[in-house]
Amino acid sequence: MEENQGVTSLRINGAVFCASMIDLADHTVEDIAQHRARRSAGLAANLTDGHTQELRDSVAALQARMADFSDQLYVQGAVTIDLLYNVMQDMIVYHCQRFPKELGEFHWVIDAKNPGAVTNWEDWWSKTLVIWLQAMSLVKPGAMLPGGDYRHFRRFIFDELPEYLRDVAPYADRSGGAGIDLQKMYGESFRFSSEPEPGLELVDIVTNALRRGLIGNLGEPGWLPLRGLMIHRSDVYVSPVGLLPPDRKLARALLPTMNKFRLGGRIMATPSLAWPEDEPAAAK
């Protein structure tokens, strides 16, 4: 099967598969509109008198563009933000134990909608990405693993908390660093591509297998092997996204299928680690 061939190729190359999903049957048009309004207000939530008028005008322009997108594009953006947050958290902890050099560079390639040019939505989404991720990280900051090898990742860690975050970041022990420079992490190499790139094609295969499995259009042999590419956790491996008010919970109509993603994943922690000595200066 094409799906299993894709899983095999990704496993051979040491890939880890992260996934987020949304069940729109749990949501009304009003739910999405209210979530969009809350997110729009959040764009300007941390502006202070110290910010320039130019920045204020830029934020207002982003808010105006946000209001014009279809519900489909807005939902897609919200789910993708959730996915990238989980990717960021999982990959740092996973690779600091196994392949720490992989944390020295991040190359983000996004499947483009238009082969001719970046769309208005893609441009807006790429410009607000770090804002959403920063807000999520402030509420739920990622943990630095004791004993993890962060030598190559160190250049993405703030020595001091930036001034624009000092009034909004919660108190925390920052002896190991003041947080992650998301602008650098996502800004150094970020592009949209409509070309048939091998990485994007493999992601398309496994993502479609998961989607078809969740809606019942693909038998278990086609999507259960995906678990072997995912990180094991106490909850289900696929992150369910809800755009609901705080007083409402997801109905989880897909829970029987989602529960299949509680076993068979990769264990995050390694039993024991022995780091090699620092590389000689001449080899760096």
pLDDT tens for residues 56-110? 888 899 999 999 999 999 999 999 999 999 999 899 999 999 999 999 999 999 9
Mean pLDDT for 241-252 is 82
User: How far is it, in rounded angstroms, from Cα 252 to Cα 49?
Assistant: 43
User: How far is it, in rounded angstroms, from Cα 97 to Cα 149?
Assistant: 6
| Weakest-pLDDT range from 144-158, 198-212, 243-257 | 243-257
Looking at residue 276, its pLDDT comes to 46
- Report yes or no on whether pTM surpasses 0.75: yes
User: How far is it, in rounded angstroms, from Cα 242 to Cα 24?
Assistant: 9
Looking at residue 241, its pLDDT comes to 92
| Better-scored residue on pLDDT, 5 or 123 | 123
C-beta separation of 206 from 10 below 8 A: yes
Q: Residue holding tokens 């908390």?
A: 161
Residues 66-84: b if buried by 16+ CB within 10 A, e if exposed: beebeeebbbbbbbbbbbb
Mean pLDDT for 131-136 is 82
pLDDT at 19 over 90: yes
Compute the C-alpha angle 19/68/207, nearest 5°: 15
Maximum mean pLDDT: which of 49-58, 101-110, 141-150: 101-110
